[in-house]
Structure 1
Amino acid sequence: MLFVGDDWAEDHHDVEVQDETGRRLARARLPEGVTGMARLHALLAEHLPGDAEPSQVVVGIETDRGPWVGALVAAGYQVFAVNPMQVARYRERHSTSGAKSDTGDARTLADLVRTDRHRHRPVAGDSDTAEAVKILARVHQTLIWDRQRQVLRLRAALREFFPAAIAAFDDLHAGEALELLGRAPDPARAARLSRSQIAAALRRAGRRNIDQRAEAIQQVLRAEQLPQPAAVQAAYAATVQAAVALIAALNSQIRALEGEVSESFHQHPDAEIYLSQPGLGTVLAARVLAEFGDDSDRYRDARSRKNYAGNSPITRQSGKKLVVLARYARNDRLADALHRQAFCALRASAGARAYYDELRSRGTGHHAALRQLANRLTGILHGCIKTGTRYDETTAWAHRTQPAAA
């Protein structure tokens, strides 16, 4: 067996090769790309017997994505993606001086996979379809987060000189709000908007009760408010127009990417199983599939999947003190998707609603109850995937309803 520690950077990799006793066999700095990968293969070949298998090489690296990691997995090596925090703690296990270097980190990674690889998870062998869904779903979610940041900045600017706009539009990234604010970004121009102009914007945005809404918006925009100096108002108006243009562009790209996410997700063989789960639509199901992956060997059991999801609690015990806490070291994208699924499942599943109500009756808070419901739904999803069956309401919750009926 050979053990390789790979401390990666943007343009190079510091690697150290060890044998089973921890003796250093080689150390090198390799460039990123094809040339560096070829040199790594040649370096390992110098220390492996001719009949050795690629699986006899174990690699530790602090990332699980990118072409370099893909090439390592394709070569047949055992690749372990180690969390940088775990590497830092392992470094402190052997040294308290605080010294750190790239070559030292490569040695730490090699030592870690040589002695403690049974404590870590190898890089998942997800399919190309799942990887494509992951890329698209993550970019789609990132654009939504970026839009929310821009909306909050727009709201902060409006609050400083045009608070009537905040009162007039419930949703600042809606089509009518962006159109009217782009046309009238300050109180003076907004007050001159006619009811027909407002109604036309509402109609193009697909709203209902257009006449009533147009009248209400016009009244709010024409109400008196404390003014800002003309120069300050002009500066804020330019800020609003820039923010409106950014949010409109993000809206367009989010809609386009949503179609790409849906198309890619429906090509996956497990798509129907995910869509059968209560509370999961196409976008949320794509996010859950993307973050869980589809490697059949990645999760030993439902508990392993729940722990990765971050919804199962953690216990801290010392002496007579025992505390059960929520798990915050987790995949935030997956946790967000499962939390939303749990909330939507309250209407989609009678069993989920009964379980949530039971938790609430015990005094559990809303978010804690949703977290526990998400944990239960994750276990149900795991069973459906392992057996290749769609969700069934009776099967999923019969073990809770039968004792109550008896």
Structure 2
Amino acid sequence: MFVGDDWAEDHHDIELMDSAGRRLAKARLPEGVAGMTRLHALVGEAVGEGADTAEVVVGIETDRGPWVRALVTAGYTVLTVNPLQAARFRDRLAVSGAKSDPGDAHVLADMVRTHSHELRSVAGDSAQAEAVKVVTRTHKTLIWERTRHTQRLRHALRDYFPAALAAFEDLDAADALELLGKAPTPAQAAKLTTGQISAALKRAHRKSVTAKAKAIQGALREQHLGQPEEVAAAYAASITALIAVLATLNTQIKTLQGQVEAHFGRHPAAEILLSQPGMGVVLGARVLAEFGDDPDRYASAKARKNYAGTSPITRASGKKKVALARYVHNDRLIDALLTQAFGTLRYSPNAYAYYQRQRARGAGHNAALRQLANRLVGILHGCLKTGTLYDEATAWSHHAELATS
């Protein structure tokens, strides 16, 4: 039994198909318990007496959510179809360009009927890994939001208060936000005393408070081109709002980091991940969240590297052959892996030597770092498969032999 499920926020278009490609049923089901109950009934009616032994394969363009979880719990084989794959397959069935939700359900059903061996099943990650994913993704999203709001604050200050940019290195730091909140205009900032600035620096746990307070006061009192008083007041109201948002984001990021550390610390793979060079608690949690912990998801180290987006794509045609970076990848995962790779340059002599060999071959910094990340993913795969901690000598023994030969 093959089922195509074209999902929307409040409904699902379903088509049931047998192995010969004949349509057995189709329906539009509501999201939720009622819709899932109706789907089970449709499958039961179509299968008949062989319901206990029948295999039901479902194709759907998502791998998360309560609906997908219910499909997996019911014992169905759920295959995740990339929307781009579905669009290409639709073009094979009809060239007119016509598209509809019931038509997409038909495409998905036929796709899993004929190409199920080439599609990835929904990962069977544990509840622990899912919990880590929820908190780490939210934590990272808030960090991205803080960066965006900090850039907005920077652009506003550049337009009317450039002295603040010279005074504060980190605009999202607690001392900078406090002082900008007290004195959001150039005129007000110029009146800040060293005592007020020192108090803010002490509350932010800064070092060399006296010297930094004098430097900040001097920078705030320097002459710069400015805006009319009325315009400056309007800008001050705008950045006051941005400062409030940034302060809230800082608080929530710190709170969520505690949740990330707590959930990750309870996962069985945490010790192995933390043994990897350049990997801390937050970074390890992000890597675990995006890779998942299904032991059967990655058939080989190459499969894990392909999913990570660190392995190159080879394009060959005639006499031309070129290796290119993968630009379609999981942004959260590749960000974490490249951050780890950069960190290993300080903590792993063999990783640093590997990076330098790539640079000697003419690779740029980013390309060499991506190749190092690719190698580290392979090492991580071996450690997770065998349940062993990272060992510098074992992980790099083959490359050490090549380097000396």
TM-score norm. by structure 1 comes to 0.98
What is the letter of the counterpart of residue 365 of structure 1?
Answer: G
Map of 1:338 onto structure 2? 337
1:371 aligns with 2:370: yes
Structure 1 portions without partners, runs of 5+? none
**What per-residue deviation string (whole Å, max 9, x for no partner) do you get for residues 298-335 of structure 1?**
00000000000000000112222222110011111100
Displacement, 1:52? Answer: 3.4
Cα separation, 2, equivalents of 1:346 and 1:197: 41
Map of 1:243 onto structure 2? 242
The number of residue pairs the alignment matches comes to 405
**What per-residue deviation string (whole Å, max 9, x for no partner) do you get for residues 241-283 of structure 1?**
1001100100000000000000000111010000000011000
Displacement, 1:145? Answer: 0.4
Structure 1 residues 347 and 54 mapped into 2: Cα distance closer, same or farther (>3 Å)?
farther
Bigger Cα displacement from structure 2, 295-304 vs 396-405: 396-405
Structure 1 residues 250 and 7 mapped into 2: Cα distance closer, same or farther (>3 Å)?
same
Map of 2:110 onto structure 1? 111
Cα separation, 2, equivalents of 1:109 and 1:245: 47
CA contact (8 A) 1:275 1:282 kept: yes
1:99 aligns with 2:81: no
Map of 2:151 onto structure 1? 152
Map of 1:279 onto structure 2? 278
Cα separation, 2, equivalents of 1:108 and 1:152: 44
**Secondary structure at 1:294's aligned position in 2?**
coil
Cα separation, 2, equivalents of 1:281 and 1:25: 52
Structure 1 residues 202 and 44 mapped into 2: Cα distance closer, same or farther (>3 Å)?
same
**What per-residue deviation string (whole Å, max 9, x for no partner) do you get for residues 164-221 of structure 1?**
1111111110111111011111101100000111111111111111111111111110
What does 1:120-135 align with in structure 2 at a 5 Å threshold? Answer: 120-135=119-134
Cα separation, 2, equivalents of 1:64 and 1:401: 40
Map of 1:304 onto structure 2? 303
**Secondary structure at 1:46's aligned position in 2?**
helix
1:184 aligns with 2:183: yes
CA contact (8 A) 1:54 1:77 kept: no
Cα separation, 2, equivalents of 1:37 and 1:355: 52
TM-score norm. by structure 2 comes to 0.98
What does 1:313-324 align with in structure 2 at a 5 Å threshold? Answer: 313-324=312-323
**Secondary structure at 2:57's aligned position in 1?**
strand
Bigger Cα displacement from structure 2, 291-300 vs 314-323: 314-323
Cα separation, 2, equivalents of 1:199 and 1:360: 46
CA contact (8 A) 1:55 1:77 kept: no
Map of 1:389 onto structure 2? 388
1:140 aligns with 2:155: no
Q: CA RMSD in A?
A: 1.0
**Secondary structure at 2:99's aligned position in 1?**
coil
1:348 aligns with 2:334: no
**What per-residue deviation string (whole Å, max 9, x for no partner) do you get for residues 94-118 of structure 1?**
2111110000000000010000111
What is the letter of the counterpart of residue 312 of structure 1?
Answer: S
**What per-residue deviation string (whole Å, max 9, x for no partner) do you get for residues 6-53 of structure 1?**
000111000000000110000000000000000000000001143434
CA contact (8 A) 2:146 2:246 kept: yes
CA contact (8 A) 1:55 1:76 kept: no
Cα separation, 1, equivalents of 2:401 and 2:301: 23
Bigger Cα displacement from structure 2, 376-385 vs 349-358: 349-358
Cα separation, 1, equivalents of 2:347 and 2:276: 9
Displacement, 1:400? Answer: 1.9
Identity %: 64
Map of 1:256 onto structure 2? 255
What is the letter of the counterpart of residue 369 of structure 1?
Answer: A
Map of 2:34 onto structure 1? 35
What is the letter of the counterpart of residue 133 of structure 2?
Answer: K
Cα separation, 1, equivalents of 2:13 and 2:113: 17
What is the letter of the counterpart of residue 154 of structure 2?
Answer: R
Cα separation, 2, equivalents of 1:174 and 1:121: 44
Cα separation, 1, equivalents of 2:133 and 2:107: 30
CA contact (8 A) 1:314 1:327 kept: yes
Bigger Cα displacement from structure 2, 206-215 vs 38-47: 206-215
What is the letter of the counterpart of residue 141 of structure 1?
Answer: K
1:400 aligns with 2:399: yes
Cα separation, 1, equivalents of 2:69 and 2:166: 51
Cα separation, 2, equivalents of 1:298 and 1:198: 54
CA contact (8 A) 1:315 1:325 kept: yes
Cα separation, 1, equivalents of 2:400 and 2:195: 56
CA contact (8 A) 2:44 2:51 kept: no
Cα separation, 2, equivalents of 1:141 and 1:53: 44
CA contact (8 A) 2:58 2:77 kept: yes
Bigger Cα displacement from structure 2, 37-46 vs 167-176: 167-176
Q: Spell out structure 1 runs of 4+ moving beyond 3 A.
A: 51-55, 402-406
